[in-house]
Structure 1
């Protein structure tokens, strides 16, 4: 089984249940290799199921707009949630379902490019430890955020709340899918960095011995032979980096718009829920006391989603910047004109084809974005508290 496919298998099954995987894995009978099949006819069952989930989300969105009317006295944060956040949750689910269906043919391209890197740099790979924390986190968060549904009133409202949690789960899985693919890219960047570090170590060792020709010949001969720079072929490393870069573009193409909507929805919900927690002791809003009891869980969940998206992208970006630093060191230690030329081109390639992840090309997803969101949220909360 392909190691990449093995790494995402549990998340794939969870996504399949939620209609977010209208494709399947197929194995070649002769070679035993596994690939992704995105053919419409062979995945008709998954496509139909995605359509059913899509229709349920539309029904939930319509009922949400009918149910939440702003004609009663309610907490300001609750009013914003009813008018914006709850419908937005269904919109995100609908966009995620449409987006993954329209871009399903890009998923195999992503894995093909990372597989190329694995084959090209197989000697530097380390064995993966398949601890499926992503699926565990999704299930735990889903259970914790379902508290207010368990204490809500009976009847049709409970059905709506269940559908709402399904919509929220689709958004949560979209975040986990995004973070998982970014993590796979980060691992390949680490492999490439390891290969470059071997070249740097070998080059520095050779230069040291060239500058010290009177060193002990016996000690030099007894040392473990180093890998020649030419054998590692810097051109192959450039090709590997290009595949990693193109894989990162696929992630932005497939998940850019859903991530943009998730960022907007999560940021606004974070402000309204923190403000709601401050207002919760007010006796005027006793009708939603059970909802207030779950606010800390929702706040932690929203913060966790923002942190997961921004931190995973930040780590991958930092790894790629370290590659640029190593290439610059190699330029200083280059022994041959051929290597100097390839390293110069590699340095230019790194400066032009920077690995970064954006929310539909509106802004870069990294820790600076998280700081901006938290600073803005704090400002809005302080302003709202002044009007309390």
Structure 2
């Protein structure tokens, strides 16, 4: 582990993402308090800044959409480009608006995750790995964006590239889209780490490793009544020497994590829905644009395929990020539901009546607290979604290509051959490349 990275609590892990989100205007919070006793607070000036960013963003989206009315939709290719631009504008505006409206719920999620760490007391060793993983993601995003930007600007020229950035819906909305992806991915991983920690305690007892099956809350002043109905019991008074007490505590901790999962699902439901729709449309149309170029026998005004390689890289990035978010949601739900398997294994092995009774109550709770992440209830975010997307992408590509072929008459063929060589990106503006 890198020694110069010091993490004291959960807020040390999320601090890089918090600062970037604040700069973009989607995190109206301030971090206050001393180390190991820090809390987020919704800040009035930060909320005002977020509102100003939202208004500027909405104005920019309206400007981009107004340009569509000046766009002659004479081919399926151009119509597809318009649809993709509108999707980017609506999705990004929805992201920013929901971040502002759901700011209280976002605060509650982080506060409850931090509270769980205090109650569980054995999460410090996971902080460094979580922070390094977050920094790695942010560096990867930066490297990809810089690589694509340098590649395009070196080929088309800096002035043309700046003009392209000003007109491109994809580039204009990229910062907020990256923030959404990174927040979703890392919140899921934080939840997964904590479900795994609870499961690890159960596994230790299952393997009869009683030396490691211990619970040491970090803050002895936090009352257990925060997460359970047991009255007048504090962590200072509870040594958890008896296995039944430990399982009772783990049961309440698991229920607390299930509550956090429901809050995450409620808070980010619209984000997840818009995110999947955005990436689905981007993948469909990018594959469609690349197929149109691939099927042409000449290169038109292009001397090489630099722009095509850039857009192919963007396509791969969309696929990777969609797969990453689905994997994070699915793996977190799987880890949460794995607790039931461990409890039933332990239930069949134990002979202690008190432990057996507590495990039966735990099993009953798990039966009614299944963790699943959905996009506003429309579809679950698991690997079946990827299978459905593959089938849908294939279907829509066939439809789009059939529509394109329906223009197969001399006049429209001439129009298409004049358009396709010089416009092979999904944006409404494509720089004029040198011959």
* Cα distance in 1 for residues equivalent to 2:43 and 2:93: 22
Residues 1:361 and 2:377 aligned together: yes
SS at match of 1:343: helix
Matches within 5 A, 1:1-388: 2-28=8-34, 33-40=37-44, 44=45, 46-68=46-68, 69-74=70-75, 76-82=76-82, 84-123=83-122, 126-127=125-126, 128-129=128-129, 130-131=131-132, 132-144=135-147, 146=149, 150=153, 151=156, 154=160, 157-158=163-164, 160-161=166-167, 164-202=170-208, 230=243, 233-281=246-294, 282=296, 292-386=308-402, 388=405
* Cα distance in 2 for residues equivalent to 1:100 and 1:366: 24
Gap runs ≥5 in structure 2: 1-6, 212-239, 406-435
Inter-CA distance 59–163: structure 2 relative to 1 (3 Å threshold): farther
Inter-CA distance 113–233: structure 2 relative to 1 (3 Å threshold): same
* Cα distance in 2 for residues equivalent to 1:353 and 1:105: 24
Task: Please report how far the alpha carbon of residue 385 of structure 1 lies from its aligned counterpart in structure 2 after TM superposition.
Answer: 3.8
Inter-CA distance 7–376: structure 2 relative to 1 (3 Å threshold): same
The 10-residue stretch of structure 1 (181-190 or 138-147) with the greater mean CA deviation from structure 2: 138-147
The 10-residue stretch of structure 1 (163-172 or 237-246) with the greater mean CA deviation from structure 2: 163-172
* Cα distance in 2 for residues equivalent to 1:91 and 1:285: 34
* Cα distance in 1 for residues equivalent to 2:380 and 2:398: 27
How many positions carry a matched residue from both structures?
A: 359
* Cα distance in 2 for residues equivalent to 1:22 and 1:204: 45
Inter-CA distance 344–64: structure 2 relative to 1 (3 Å threshold): same
Task: Please report how far the alpha carbon of residue 108 of structure 1 lies from its aligned counterpart in structure 2 after TM superposition.
Answer: 3.0
Contact 1:186 1:319 in 2 (8 A): yes
* TM-score normalised by L of structure 1: 0.82
Inter-CA distance 159–375: structure 2 relative to 1 (3 Å threshold): closer
Contact 1:252 1:357 in 2 (8 A): yes
Aligned to 2:216: none
The 10-residue stretch of structure 1 (353-362 or 280-289) with the greater mean CA deviation from structure 2: 280-289
Task: Please report how far the alpha carbon of residue 19 of structure 1 lies from its aligned counterpart in structure 2 after TM superposition.
Answer: 0.8
Contact 2:244 2:358 in 1 (8 A): no
